[in-house]
Structure 1
Amino acid sequence: MIRQLADVHVLVADDQPDVARTLCRPVERAGARLHFVDNGTAALTAATGRPFDLIIVDLKMPPEDWGGLWLLERLQAEGLRTPALVLSGEGSKQQTVRAMRLGAADWVDKDDASTELLDRCAEVHVKWQAQALEEAIGGFPAPLAAHFARYWRATDVDRQVNAGLAALEAVLRFAAMVGLATTPPAPLAGVTAAQLARPSMGTWLTVCTRLLTLASPGSEFTRLLACLIPSGGAQRVQDLVNLRNGIAHGRTTSTAAHADHLDGLLRRFAARTAAFWRADIGVATTMTYDGMLFHAEFDRLRGTSGPFAHTVATTDPTITGQVFLLPHAGAPVTLSPWLVAERAPSSGAYHCFQFDGSDTRPNTKSPLRYANAGDPSDPPPPPSTATWRAAEPWVQ
């Protein structure tokens, strides 16, 4: 079980840094990457800034006397679900009980941490990873949830690898859509019109990594991509893109090692996203204005069921029928023309379609092409009213 901590990102919040480093040394030796802070305020800043797989929280630290409880309360209020393990000292039984009620996954008596912390960290992490795919199927935006559901159902190695690679490509494509919708347009180095007109899995990885190099990449995009690709960690995903190409061209055969590697990556992405990324997508349905704010109604597209009704108060009007990104905090952002949706009149279910290049050699007036974002058995995409003009600012 301890090997499961390899490359696990752990935030450690303790106002006695030397003691914390000593107690956490076995966790670090097991392969975890540790980030230390010495108070709850700094821990909150770190936890809201990038995804962690686990947080170790000392209950008795600043701010005030029980900064660990303050931190857990703030994490809960922010909607962050990163599993937390609390360090409990003498005389803090009441606070430990409260910490568990605030969502802490487990606790360790600080006097016993030198011998117990490693095993407890591994147990908490493995449990969260084990339920990650179910979290994805129920809580991801619909275009991703459908792919993770198919991956969940895959049985033999070939199907697991193929479904896993398809799920990974869906993640890259969806992240790129969010990035293109939320980042001020600018040419992406190394992305040509020909590539974007016939995008591959590698194209979507390139778009994502190049978006990160721009001056102001969208915050929800950077948060989502960080769940898949930590800073400087794109090579692992590139290796899987190469695997996809090798299988497609008959140069490579799926193996159990490939399946295990993919499973680890997808579960970690699913766990981090469920804990850290708090946005939804939804289709705008109706809107009213009270003289100060617009009250927009959305059909939220989450998981493999739904839709779910959702209301947002915003200073800007929304366009009925368009798909929007719905951040945890902040105004809705249209994902058009990168992601579109149609509602089936008979069932009321939505079918999502993602930008997939152009049917003709791209020029300003070329219509955009779309592909099913979820189930391949969905109906064909509707005729496009969007043109290549939307993609031109992004290509060199």
Structure 2
Amino acid sequence: MEQLMTIDRQRPRRRPRILLVDDQRDVAHTLSKLLKPLNAEFRFAEDGDAGLRRLRTEMFDLVLVDLFMPPGDVGGMWLLRRLAEDMIRIPTVILSGNEAQDETIEAQRLGAKNYVVKHKATEELLDVVKEVLADAAHAHWQVATSELPAPVAIPLIRSRLQTDDMHRLRDSIHCVESIFRFSALAAAASFRDLLAERLEKPPSMGTWQSLCRELQGQTAGGVLRDWLTTVADRSAADLVSVRNDLAHGGVPVASWVKERQRDVDDWLELFVTVAATRPALRTVVAGKLEHTGDGFVAEVANLVGSATAVRWQEFHAAEPLRKGRVYLVVADEPVINLWPLITSTPDDRPGHWSISVLDGVTRNGQLRYINLDNGTRVDSEITVADLRSCR
């Protein structure tokens, strides 16, 4: 069989993004030069307030925090507390002008991964940052495959199982498409008429990404918008082309497969970093419900990770949750009803759930799903009218 796809130009690799929060800008720039071998992108903030604003709205792989800076005398500690309160889990390294043991112990208790005394930075900073970045990359994948919504976590798990290069690339692209699809559906749950219009034609990977871009500007700031921004990233658009090449471009040469796998891995690393460092986003299925004086208490099962060994737990909600329906839960934000975009039923194995994700509409107006257990597409009795009417 003729090999049609050949290696093209190499795309730039993803560079780690590091934020330096220090009220002495000249010191911050000097420290960034010590990290030049990382080929990282550096950004700067002059105090804890400015650092917090950037960390709330931008993605970083790591933050270096001066311990003694505004606000107050120990602004680095203030920033760590605020990050913990906001559930922003970006790896942090503390910088201190002296070996203040009490402060550094407290900083690590608040989540800092390590610390470096400034006068030892020339000898220690690069090695410490390398170690923290490597540990974080491993930890982020663990979070992604065990704590993210099952429609995302299950494809992520499967993308790491293949050893054959070609099969690994196909599974990785399938994983990326699953992330696009879930992100679009989660955002479109609040814009159902728009979703119904976009599903009038069979959706593709490009359809899901276009929908994410369209919804990015209409979605209030928060975790879901961070996901949409990552899917809308220019590097993600290149992956749509990879998917189309795999589907229609013939047999690829080995060098093309390896280079495209690096592109996919770069984007997945970006997505996993965003998902693991922002406040948790999870899917739950509702069970029995009780009304209390000031709201409702529902039993919910977390459909995260592989959706196995799922247990019921109490969940307090302002509005009633309908039994058997899937909801999106993001920190303290209002719960989002995902039915009928995502459906779930318990299977024969205790604690296991079968999950299906919307992937189109039949000519008769019935919704078509992908079953996450086996990847098959199934037509349902649920209709577009049901999709539009349910809020």
Q: Is the CA contact (8 Å cut-off) linking 2:362 and 2:379 kept in structure 1?
A: no
TM-score where L is the length of structure 2: 0.86
Is 1:269 the counterpart of 2:271? The answer is yes
1:331-384 CA distance string (max 9 Å, x none): 3211122111112255342111111111116xxxx2221112x23268x75733
Closer, same or farther: CA 89–186 of 1 in aligned 2, 3 Å: farther
* Range 64-73 or range 155-164, more displaced: 64-73
Q: 1:297 & 1:68 partners in 2: Cα distance?
A: 40
Matches within 5 A, 1:1-396: 7-27=15-35, 30-114=38-122, 116-182=124-190, 184=191, 187=194, 193=198, 196-214=200-218, 216-217=219-220, 219-226=222-229, 228-229=230-231, 234-251=233-250, 253=252, 255-304=257-306, 305-345=308-348, 347-360=350-363, 366-372=365-371, 374-376=372-374, 381=378, 383-388=380-385, 390=387
Instruction: List, as ranges, runs of 4+ consecutive aligned residues in structure 1 with deviation greater than 6 Å.
Output: none
1:108 is paired with a residue of what secondary structure? Answer: strand
2:160 is paired with a residue of what secondary structure? Answer: helix
| Counterpart code for 1:22 | T
Q: 2:84 & 2:132 partners in 1: Cα distance?
A: 18
Give the drift of 1:314: 2.3
Q: 1:122 & 1:252 partners in 2: Cα distance?
A: 38
* Range 216-225 or range 143-152, more displaced: 216-225
* Range 310-319 or range 52-61, more displaced: 310-319
Q: 2:344 & 2:63 partners in 1: Cα distance?
A: 38
1:146-187 CA distance string (max 9 Å, x none): 1111112111211210111011111101100111014x4575
Q: Is the CA contact (8 Å cut-off) linking 1:133 and 1:152 kept in structure 2?
A: no
1:215-252 CA distance string (max 9 Å, x none): x45744212234x34xxx63211111111111111435
| Counterpart code for 2:49 | T
User: Which residue does 2:4 correspond to in 1?
Assistant: none
| Counterpart code for 1:150 | R
Q: Is the CA contact (8 Å cut-off) linking 2:95 and 2:116 kept in structure 1?
A: yes
Give the drift of 1:86: 1.0
Closer, same or farther: CA 38–310 of 1 in aligned 2, 3 Å: farther
1:385 is paired with a residue of what secondary structure? Answer: strand
How many pairs does the alignment contain? Answer: 374
Closer, same or farther: CA 192–293 of 1 in aligned 2, 3 Å: closer
| Counterpart code for 2:305 | G
Q: 1:274 & 1:37 partners in 2: Cα distance?
A: 23
Unpaired stretches in structure 1, ≥5 consecutive residues:
none
Q: 2:374 & 2:14 partners in 1: Cα distance?
A: 36
Q: 2:15 & 2:233 partners in 1: Cα distance?
A: 14
| Counterpart code for 2:268 | L
Q: Is the CA contact (8 Å cut-off) linking 2:62 and 2:92 kept in structure 1?
A: yes
1:238-283 CA distance string (max 9 Å, x none): 1111111111114351522222222232123213211114121100
By percentage of residues, which structure has more strand?
2
What do you get for the CA RMSD once the two structures are aligned? Answer: 2.7
Q: 2:318 & 2:45 partners in 1: Cα distance?
A: 38
Q: 1:276 & 1:221 partners in 2: Cα distance?
A: 10
Q: Is the CA contact (8 Å cut-off) linking 2:184 and 2:208 kept in structure 1?
A: yes
Closer, same or farther: CA 212–307 of 1 in aligned 2, 3 Å: same
Unpaired stretches in structure 2, ≥5 consecutive residues:
1-11
Closer, same or farther: CA 68–5 of 1 in aligned 2, 3 Å: farther
1:7 is paired with a residue of what secondary structure? Answer: coil
Q: Is the CA contact (8 Å cut-off) linking 1:322 and 1:335 kept in structure 2?
A: yes
Q: Is the CA contact (8 Å cut-off) linking 1:69 and 1:99 kept in structure 2?
A: yes
Q: 1:306 & 1:197 partners in 2: Cα distance?
A: 37
Percent identical among aligned pairs is: 29
Q: Is the CA contact (8 Å cut-off) linking 2:283 and 2:329 kept in structure 1?
A: yes
2:125 is paired with a residue of what secondary structure? Answer: helix
Q: 2:246 & 2:42 partners in 1: Cα distance?
A: 36
Q: 2:387 & 2:36 partners in 1: Cα distance?
A: 47
Q: Is the CA contact (8 Å cut-off) linking 1:13 and 1:39 kept in structure 2?
A: yes
Q: 2:29 & 2:111 partners in 1: Cα distance?
A: 24
1:24 is paired with a residue of what secondary structure? Answer: helix
Q: 1:312 & 1:61 partners in 2: Cα distance?
A: 40
1:197 is paired with a residue of what secondary structure? Answer: coil
Closer, same or farther: CA 133–91 of 1 in aligned 2, 3 Å: closer
